[in-house]
Amino acid sequence: MTDFDDDPLPVKRCVCFEMSFASLKAAGVRSADEAEARFGCGSKCGACVPYIQLMIYTGRTEFAVIALD
């Protein structure tokens, strides 16, 4: 069992840079490129980029894991 098994919205941050999506939103980030330029998010593994894009589009800061099929 992992820490997020009971959490329906476990994705809350860029793990490479320990930056929460709530912090990115509060900082006024308006694009994935801006998140990378200002905070490094998306510049390492890139797994956070689709979530950053969702944050910008929806305003939400917590997400379910996106299935890659």
Where do the domains of the chain lie? 1-69
Residue 13: phi and psi, rounded to 5, are -160, 165
pLDDT higher than threshold 90 for residue 69? no
Between the alpha carbon of residue 67 and those of residues 22, 35, 46, 60, 64, the distances in Å are 22, 23, 15, 18, 9
What average pLDDT score do residues 6-24 get?
Answer: 94
Candidate CATH numbers 3.10.450, 3.30.70, 1.10.10, 1.25.40; the one for domain 1-69? 1.10.10
pLDDT in tens, 36-52: 999 999 999 999 999 99
* Amino acid symbol at 57: Y
Q: State how far the Cα of 31 lies from the Cα of 28, in Å rounded to an integer.
A: 9
Start-to-end CA distance of the chain, whole Å, equals 23
> Model pTM?
0.87
